[in-house]
Amino acid sequence: MSKPFIDSNIVLYLLSGDAAKADRAEAILEAGGVISVQVLNEVVSVCLRKLKMPWEEVDQLLLAVKTACDILPLTLASHEKAVEIAKRFQLSLYDANIVASALMSGAELLVSEDMQSGMLIDGLLIQNPFI
């Protein structure tokens, strides 16, 4: 079975005050997976703007995530696939970028709390790991 694709919200739960969700997120990342540069960008944005973390802490989080996961680049092909998915499934472009990268990675599973758990997109199963 292929490695799961991990959405940014799972990474951000590493910082959660909810110990059960933080522990689950840590277990998912420790098992290894795939992310895209989109995930890294979203994590940085939330850490800086919403959580008001200093760059030093953001850098430490990024290093841990980059060590645990394979990382896919954003490309014109992934953008075009994301636009097509956004149109077909009425997803936001940000979520569609995650789905497109997951599909292009060959992942069979996308772990995400934000999208509809159980949804199947072109053979990719979206699953909320906290249910």
Domains belonging to the chain, first-starting first, are 5-127 (3.40.50.1010)
Q: State residue 2's pLDDT score.
A: 86
CB atoms under 10 Å from CB of 60, counted, come to 12
Angle at 130 between CA 127 and CA 131, to 5 degrees: 75
At 48-107, the pLDDT tens digits run 999 999 999 999 999 999 999 999 999 999 999 999 999 999 999 999 999 999 999 999
CB-based contact 78:97 (threshold 8 Å): yes
Question: Is residue 46 exposed (0-12), middle (13-18) or buried (19+ Cβ within 10 Å)?
Answer: middle
Kindly state the percentage of the chain with pLDDT values over 90: 98
Mean pLDDT across the chain, nearest whole number? 96
pLDDT attached to residue 62 = 98
